[in-house]
Amino acid sequence: MNLIVDIGNSRAKISVMSEGEVVMQHTEESISDATIRDIITRYPTLSAAIVASTRGDGDAVAAQLRNHIGKVLHFSPATTPLPLGNHYHTPQTLGADRLAAAVGVSAMYPGRDIMVVDFGTAITIDYVVDNVFLGGNISPGVTTRFRALADYTAKLPLCSPTEEVLEYGRTTVEAIEQGVMRGVEQEIRGYVEAFLLKNSENCIIFTGGDAKYFVKRIKNAIFADCEPVIFGLNRILEYNAEKF
């Protein structure tokens, strides 16, 4: 059994995987030693762990885990061997979650050219072609856009994502909701259309907390409810199992 720790911008997720399947998942703001001890107690057959962090606290969490598990890999996009080529020019600045998701979707859909869109605090659009991570783009996420409007204007209220689709807003709240949601929709639709023109054996994956709002709005997209980042981190851990 493997322990997967994915520390994102706003939350940390711990997963236990067995034979490629998630058997337990826990989410909290930051990883505590009490949480680690509890999971180790519940799953005493855990033999290896991987830690990935976008916050810079991965070393500390990896050190915590080494008190309990013999094999612990701190995933670094710049140095960790991968079952995937990487053409990113500055791997030391590449988010671990982006690269792990690329590894995950390439294993889930082998032989396909893939665009993966992660709707989180930031929206990332990344590409895997011929089993190589090419890179991608980053823009503000849905909630980030709502917060920006509330924080940088004098009177606009803080609004939230909505599933309602209107041609135009009839109140200020509706105008903000539709402006943000339809703005993101049109942004991603443009990426999708360009990708489909260039890649014949294509696969478009939507993932992340806000993906559910857009998978019905944009055709040709697959909603990855199996979490490519977790799947990719597990694949990276297994790929490096004999190396540490």
CA torsion through residues 201, 206, 212, 216, sign:
negative
Contacts of 177 (CB under 8 A, 6+ apart): 159, 160, 161, 162, 164, 169
CB burial readout 118-131, b (16+ within 10 A) else e: bbbbbbbbbbbbeb
Hey, what are 163's tokens?
Answer: 């599933």
Q: How far apart are CA 76 and CA 109, in angstroms?
A: 23
Question: Quick check: helix, strand or coil at residue 11?
Answer: coil
Phi, psi of 213 (to 5 degrees): -75, -20
Point out the catalytic residue in the list 6, 97, 126, 210: 97
Q: Is 97 a catalytic residue?
A: yes
Q: Which helix (H) or strand (E) holds 223?
A: strand 221-223
Edge to edge, the sheet with strand 221-223 lists 85-86, 132-140, 122-129, 113-119, 202-207, 221-223
Hey, what are 136's tokens?
Answer: 């991608």
Q: How far apart are CA 81 and CA 63, in angstroms?
A: 20
Give the residue numbers marked as catalytic. Answer: 97
